[in-house]
Amino acid sequence: MEERDRIQEVVMRKKVLVLGANFGGMTAALAVKHELAGDVDVTVVSASDRFLFNPSLIWLPFGKRDAGDITFRVEPTFEAHDIEFVHAAATGVDPVAKQVTVADGRRFGYDYLVIATGYRNNDDVVPGFRENATTITTLAEAERAGEAWRRYLQDPGDVVVAATQGAGCFGAAYEFLFNTAYQLKKAGLDKQVKLTYVTAEPFLGHFGIGGLPHGEQLLGMFLKKEGIDARISVGIDHVDDGALVLAGGETLPFSFGMVVPPFLGQDFLKAADGLADEKGYVRVRDTYQSEKHDDVYAVGVAAAVDVPWQTPTPVGIPKTGFPTEQMAHTAASNIAAQVRGEPATHTKAFGDIKAVCVMDAGNNGVIILADKMLPPRKHGVLIPGPQAHLMKLGFEKYFLWKMRHGYVQLP
């Protein structure tokens, strides 16, 4: 091949830019590279230079994990797959000019853009939450919760675990609740202190996905077995120093409180005309292309998903983990098709993605399986038992190995 032909080939290669390097971003970047057999330029821009296995944050406050156990540097993985990595926070998107701006002012052009910028906590939904309680939804916050837990063990008292109005990550709230019960029992405190669960769910086991057959009874049995009190279908008015105050006025004193808030998208996305809604989520089609731009995709929490029900207290939808991966693969398949000059016809409506989850409960747990994420469904089952705990332990190790080596084509 002559030098002129080589230069023309490089110029003609399509550029895919991915914002985010965790579940959605890493999966999308590696999958599109794999689908096109490397014949595409892929760049990942991320504010974090580490992959985080978020599902294990439930264990970190109790000392069962630390950051080194559940993270790894993403640059070596991307480098091994000929993907450029830029450690910088995106601050602006211009879908007309097809450019993304980062914090230091650099601009990156693209032919196709994947927005996988994840979530941030809506700390303002409950006044006093940031100052007077902890959460486990980010690595830094989980580490702070660990510090609070160690202080708590020196001067124990009642514990409150809560998922606020608008929250969608109820699985993490349940897992932390049952792991707390397990830790209290191990410390010999279970008979001395009161453990209370507060949730916006209209019934136990709703999980933000409408519930599954016999889920309410099963979760009720778990709570009864562990001696956990519950406040269901209730919002939180505010959090005082040492007390959680419900919307109806009831006050629940606590010596340790963990609260799961709602999530928001990233603010900078709202500045791009018509790209994101008021929460910073990108409105997408079932192809995960944005509603307004065929060359812009959004996956994971960054993608807007309509809540298909009304509940007395607002309830969100979980978009993390398995659903994020499925969205990312769908987006990658469509980008690969577009690069080949074909239409983007791969679809996977969020509600049609399978529900696959393992809820850990210390030394017990529940395997959650359903043919669809959202109702109506044909099949759904909850399988309780200690095998669920062992399955989560095994899956953590497998998934971190898979992602570290870039094997996103594996299940």
Residue 265 has pLDDT above 90, yes or no: yes
**Rounded Cα distance, 153 and 336, in Å:** 53
Residue 313, C-beta contacts closer than 8 angstroms, at least 6 positions apart = 165, 200, 202, 233, 234, 235, 247
What are 13-23's pLDDT values in tens digits? 999 999 999 99
pLDDT value at position 155? 97
Residue 4 has pLDDT above 80, yes or no: no
**Rounded Cα distance, 147 and 136, in Å:** 12
The one catalytic residue in 19, 162, 169, 299 is 169
Strands 365-370 and 355-360: antiparallel
> What SS3 state is found at 207?
coil
Alpha helices in 126-214 (DSSP H): 129-132, 139-154, 170-186
pLDDT value at position 5? 46
Average pLDDT of every residue of the chain:
95
Q: 105: phi > 0 → left, psi -120 to 50 → alpha, else beta; which?
A: left
**Rounded Cα distance, 173 and 231, in Å:** 13
169 is catalytic: yes
Nearest to 304 by CA among 330, 321, 326, 279: 279
pLDDT value at position 2? 56
Nearest to 57 by CA among 49, 65, 47: 65
pTM: 0.95
pLDDT value at position 193? 98
What integer is the mean pLDDT of 190-206?
97
pLDDT value at position 8? 44
Confidence at 7, pLDDT banded by 50, 70, 90: very low
Walk across the sheet containing 355-360 and list its strands.
Answer: 355-360, 365-370, 380-384
The one catalytic residue in 86, 260, 315, 357 is 357
Report CA torsion sign: 191, 198, 243, 361.
positive
> What SS3 state is found at 121?
strand
What are 228-239's pLDDT values in tens digits? 999 999 999 999
User: Token pair 């080596």 is at which residue?
Assistant: 405
What integer is the mean pLDDT of 246-266?
97
Residue 394 has pLDDT above 70, yes or no: yes
277 is catalytic: no
Using N-to-C axis directions, what is the helix angle for 215-226 and 170-186, rounded to 10°? 30
Hey, what domains does the chain have and what are their CATH numbers? 3-119+265-351 (3.50.50.60), 124-262 (3.50.50.60)
pLDDT value at position 11? 52
Asked if 46 and 21 count as a contact pair (C-beta separation under 8 A), the reply is yes
